[in-house]
Amino acid sequence: MRRAFKYSSLILLVLALLFAYWVNKAETKPRTVRDFAMDTYIEITTYRHSDDAVTEEMLNDFKLLESIFNRYDENSVVFDVNKNAYEKPIYIPAIFMNLLTESLKLFYYTEGHFNPAIGPLVDIWMKVIKGEEFTDLPEINILNEAMSLSKTRNIIINEQDRQVSFTIPGVSLDFGAVVKGFAVDRAFEILKNRGTDRAVINAGGTIGVYGSPAGRKYWRIGIQHPRREGIIGVLNLTSNMVVSTSGDYERYKIINGKRYHHLLNPFTGYPSEELLSVTIINKNGLLSDAVSTAVMSMGLQKGIEFLTQKSLMAIIITPDLKIHFTGDAESLFQPEL
């Protein structure tokens, strides 16, 4: 009896090792295609040979979206609209109308914190971050002018003739904050039509998990640590979820010891300051993208109030590196040790 007692720890160790081996074995080999589209990095992971055609179809769709919504590309539809829509109404494709009207709905949904007309303000701050034209901070009157241009009331939509026009010159639409989520939603649609079992789509950090993983219960999506290399934790997700993160660490410049990044508060005209990153988990990618951008601008208190009221799942990281949860997000989150 006493001898059995002595060896039981050894038996337990062997069992644990066998178990660890077995679970590692159960993973299936994924196939990942990496490419660039929509001014960002794309990664599509599928699990069967027959899915290669589907991957190709999704990549082509992303490139189609790029040709419509990349406002830095002179041949894109949005460039044409931003340039000419004051002079005459511009006829736009159905996808454009779709994303524009959805974006305006999200503008009201987020109480103006996500703003599809924020282009003029973005232009100024991107120049600041890249160090072009402005070596220092922009003057307040320049920001004020840009803010008055960045109003959705300057946009006139004619749904019947599928036309869009601007009331004043200088208005500029920017779908950069939502096009990735929109693209993931469309990719899910393609996967559904093609009857694919499972796939992971990473559109520049907006990640969609489709179907359920093979041989295990959850997809594991890492959340970037906002201040160092590596992840701050992992999200355990079941099927068909889109995770979108907005953070102050992607594109930024430090001026006089202060961090100025590309996520702007449309009400102050300055980069939002209170939060390091916001991660939204939702079935709808467009909504995830828009809300993560909007909550960055709202700040902690207003953001949590808003998310709780709409019962959305979010993970918010504040400058003290504290992690705040809304909805049921805490139950999905596993901190990285």
Q: Report the interface residues with another protein, using CB under 8 A.
A: 1-2, 5-6, 8-9, 12-13, 16-17, 19-20, 23-24, 33-36, 39-41, 43, 45, 130, 200, 202, 205-207, 209, 213, 216-224, 229-231, 234-236, 243-245, 247, 249-251, 279, 330, 334-335, 337
Question: Which residue number, 166 or 210, has a Cβ lying nearer to another protein?
Answer: 210
**Which residue number, 107 or 182, has a Cβ lying nearer to another protein?**
182
The answer to whether 72 and 252 have CB atoms below 8 angstroms apart is no
Token representation of residue 244: 């979108």
Q: Name which of 206 and 284 has its Cβ closer to another protein.
A: 206
Q: What is the C-alpha separation between 329 and 314, in angstroms, rounded?
A: 6
Cβ 300 vs Cβ 323: under 8 Å = no
Q: How far is the CB of 277 from another protein (least distance, A)?
A: 8
> Minimum CB separation from another protein for residue 109, in Å?
21
- Pick between residue 155 and residue 262 the one whose CB is nearest to another protein: 262
CB of 96 vs another protein, minimal distance in Å = 24
Q: How far apart are CA 88 and CA 303, in angstroms?
A: 39
Angle of CA points 252, 40, 131, to nearest 5°: 30
**Which residue(s) pair with 36 in the sheet?**
41
Nearer to another protein, 39 or 145 (CB): 39
Q: Shortest distance, CB of residue 264 to another protein, whole angstroms?
A: 18
Nearer to another protein, 266 or 285 (CB): 285
Q: At its nearest, how many Å lie between another protein and the CB of residue 330?
A: 8
Pairwise CA distance, residues 212 & 28, whole Å = 13
* In the complex, minimum distance from the CB of residue 301 to another protein, in angstroms, rounded to a whole number: 23
CB environment 133-166: b (16+ within 10 A), e (fewer): ebeeebeeeebebbbebbbbebbebeeeeebbbb
Residue reference for tokens 């109003």: 151
Which residue shows structure tokens 């990618």? Answer: 285
Least distance between another protein and beta carbon 93 (Å)? 26
Q: Which helix (H) or strand (E) is 253 found in, with range?
A: strand 252-255
Which CB, 12 or 140, lies closer to another protein? 12
Rounded CA separation 33/161 (Å): 39
